[in-house]
Structure 1
Amino acid sequence: MKTSIFLIISVFFLIAGLSPQNARAQKHFDQQLYNTILHMDSVCFDAFNAHDMQGLKKVFADNVEFYHDLGGLAYYDETMQNFEKMFAQNKDTGLKRELVRGSLEIYPIKNFGAIEVGVHKFTHMENGKEVVGLLKFLHVWQYKNNEWKITRVISYDH
């Protein structure tokens, strides 16, 4: 019983610590930029969840650098190949990504774009059981030619 109460309290504090109010407490919070990057995050991961390679290609810059704490550094072509492999391997597993509510932080980069920091949850089925991973990420978005594109990805804490 004590373990259950501790778990419930821990989850409560985790959720409270990741609340949207934390984002608004940022030193340079910009609601419009926050909404824009939140939207672009959903564009990117709606394509990911649909295994839509053409949609993914539209949100990554040609010069993207994808840093993965376990996989190392990949550039655009390798990143796209990695997505294709992942989709082929997880065709029937229900692989999907969700942004952890309240974890998103957005920081402007003067004359360039924005930094997006957050936690996302990946789920898929494996051997009849749902596998869930909570992972941290940082994306650098560039606003150029009236388009938002991801130029850097840092995926860590795997």
Structure 2
Amino acid sequence: MRSTIATLLLLFALSATTAHGQSTPRQTGTTSPPPAAAPKPLTKEELYQTVARLDTEMFAAFNAHDVNKLMAYFADNLEFYHDKGGLGNFAQTKEGFTRLFTQSPDITRTLVAGTLEVYPVKNYGAMHIATQRFCHVENGREDCGNSKFVMVWQQQAGTWKITRVVSYDH
């Protein structure tokens, strides 16, 4: 069963890369905005609660298969590194989620209890590390598999966006 879920996740990852396994940068304009002032640091507990809430909200959108709401959590300059599928950017990641939800319409994700770790990144945001479990039904039976991830969140003007994802151990 683990191999089936791994295959689904691999399909997602592969669709998040170009034919040659390289990402194409997403163009957002010719000028870059000036760097934002560093946000007021949160306490360790506030940061943990903020990231835990963001994880819950983001994966509620994943479980609802709402691609647009899900992608609102990712920055335009997203880099998504996948151990099986390589490197993908924002557009490729969106295409990958769309394809995954079409090919596996009952797929769900849960955070494995007790695995969430949150660390501050000075003058930037936070690192979000955990194990997640993806499940879907295949041949009348639940098929599930775990993988690990690291997400780097950037806080700007009170908004949190994921700029980097490392997904591994599939």
TM-score exceeds 0.5: yes
What's 2:143 paired with? Answer: 131
Question: Which of 44, 48, 52 does residue 38 from structure 1 map onto?
Answer: 52
What's 2:121 paired with? Answer: 109
What's 1:141 paired with? Answer: 153
**Structure 2 residue 168 is the aligned partner of structure 1 residue 156:** yes
Q: Distance in 2 between matches of 1:137 and 1:80?
A: 18
Structure 1 segments unaligned to the other structure (5+ residues): 1-28
What's 1:121 paired with? Answer: 133
How many residue pairs align between the two structures? 128
What's 1:16 paired with? Answer: none
**Structure 2 residue 93 is the aligned partner of structure 1 residue 79:** yes
Bigger RCO of structures 1 and 2 (CA < 8 A, at least 6 apart): 2
CA drift of 1:53 comes to: 1.2
Identity %: 48
Q: Distance in 1 between matches of 2:142 and 2:151?
A: 27
Structure 1 runs of 4+ aligned residues shifted over 2 Å read none
Q: Distance in 1 between matches of 2:145 and 2:104?
A: 15
What's 1:65 paired with? Answer: 79
CA drift of 1:129 comes to: 1.4
CA drift of 1:135 comes to: 0.7
TM-score relative to the length of structure 2: 0.74
**Structure 2 residue 51 is the aligned partner of structure 1 residue 55:** no
SS at match of 2:72: helix
Q: Distance in 2 between matches of 1:100 and 1:44?
A: 15
Q: Distance in 1 between matches of 2:66 and 2:157?
A: 23
SS at match of 1:135: strand
Q: Deviations over 1:24-44 (max 9, x none)?
A: xxxxx8110000000001111
Match for 2:79: what amino acid? E
CA drift of 1:154 comes to: 0.5
Q: Distance in 2 between matches of 1:135 and 1:114?
A: 20
Counterparts of 1:23-34 in structure 2, within 5 Å, are 30-34=44-48
SS at match of 2:65: coil
